[in-house]
Amino acid sequence: MKPNGEDEPDSNRHFPRVLVGVTGGIAAYKVCEIVSALAKSGIEVQVILTEAACEFISPLTFATLSRRPAYTDKDFWQPMQGRPLHIRLGEWADIFLIAPLTANTLAKLTYGLADNLLTNTVLASTCPILLAPAMNTDMWEQPSVQQNWQKFRENPRIHSTGMGVGLLACDRIGAGRMAEPEEIGAHLESLLHTQGKRDLSGKRVLISAGGTREHFDPVRFLGNPSTGKMGVAVAQAALHRGATVTLVHTPLSVPLPPGLQTVPVVSAAQMQEAILTYYTEADFIVMAAAVADVKPAEYVNQKLPKKLLPDALTLAPVPDIAAELGRRKQSHQCLIGFAAQTGDFVKPAREKLHQKNLDAIAANPIDRPDSGFGSDTNQAVFLDRTGRQQNVPACSKLKMAHELWDFVLVLSAEC
């Protein structure tokens, strides 16, 4: 913002803007990490604190972390310089995060009450709002609080994180923990991409993730370096866009976001059984898992001593799950594959697209820096059956997941 308090013209904007509202809960300390991470990523951040929030965290802390003034009710009641503060802040924001959201502020927002800077700014804004509630379990479970929660979320602007379960600051064990900063950060990233669109609302999505393990004894297996990060990101993006998501996954190295139906498996055979159980109800099926091509021909049910390990391991083929789905899929279903390749990665992906009767495929180069297995970033070329092709440069895996859904939804609309 300019020194006189007026906004810069939109034509001069370079970075997305997140407005953070902090209310009076002990979880306010977690918001410091969120604000710091947003500012470091280049996102413009401004913070509003309620009077109660100032009892937990000082405005100076948030001002330092955001590199901008942090506003309180004292600022709200000062003589105006230019346009009213709550109007300017409400119009400034691309996304409005309220964290922690207390029962008191929830009740005010539900009924449109505006007695402080935060609640007035909510009424003066039109952007998507992300809520991260936090309170004692008994408070959260009160019928009046649950009614307010359900009522306020009927507003299409409103999005929410999950409520964590565990040991609370009051020593109670139960629901009431604010979502962790990483989860809130991911949801903000999604909202900045979609601007609050729920374009997968009412859709059922089935996704596979992780690398299968083909054991030849209880402790040894043939596998691959897949961590499942990309598949989980695709699931998280679909969830944030309103889908009902089932994730069939192998052992993963990343936490699973709340709200997913999860089906843990280990081997390709187990994954095939789970996928074929759930695929008939799915509108979109995304095979993001790194599924084995072969497995040991024989399995020994106890650990082999080192001296008894065979010099050569006889291998047997593993059923091709994607190809089987390509044969079985119904006309309303969209089947998306992934192709992890080295070298010329687009040509084999295009062949796989047609051979397995896929609707779209993400060709993923795994021999480039910060791409592929285990990395937090990825890059790809998307292809579809109509001949469309889209290059996606290196970005976070969640952003790539959203780019994939954008690509797939265009194809789905044309069907």
The label of the residue with tokens 């309103």 reads 242
Tell me, what's the pLDDT at 93? 97
SS3 label, residue 238 = helix
Tell me, what's the pLDDT at 10? 56
Annotated binding site for CTP: 293, 303, 338, 352, 356
| Domains defined along the chain, listed by start | 16-194 (3.40.50.1950), 204-414 (3.40.50.10300)
For the chain (415 residues), the mean pLDDT of every run of 10, in chain order, is 45 80 96 97 97 97 97 88 91 97 97 97 98 93 96 96 81 85 96 96 97 94 93 97 98 90 97 97 97 93 90 92 96 95 92 96 89 89 96 96 97 74
Tell me, what's the pLDDT at 14? 64
Tell me, what's the pLDDT at 165? 81
Q: Give the pTM.
A: 0.92
Annotated binding site: 293, 303, 338, 352, 356
Tell me, what's the pLDDT at 4? 38
Tell me, what's the pLDDT at 13? 57
364 φ, ψ (degrees, to nearest 5) = -120, 110
List the beta strands (DSSP E) in 220-349: 220-222, 244-249, 261-264, 284-287, 294-296, 315-317, 334-341
List the beta strands (DSSP E) in 241-398: 244-249, 261-264, 284-287, 294-296, 315-317, 334-341, 360-365, 377-384, 389-396
Tell me, what's the pLDDT at 5? 43
Give the whole-angstrom CA distance, residue 276 versus residue 271.
Answer: 8
List, by residue number, the catalytic residues: 170
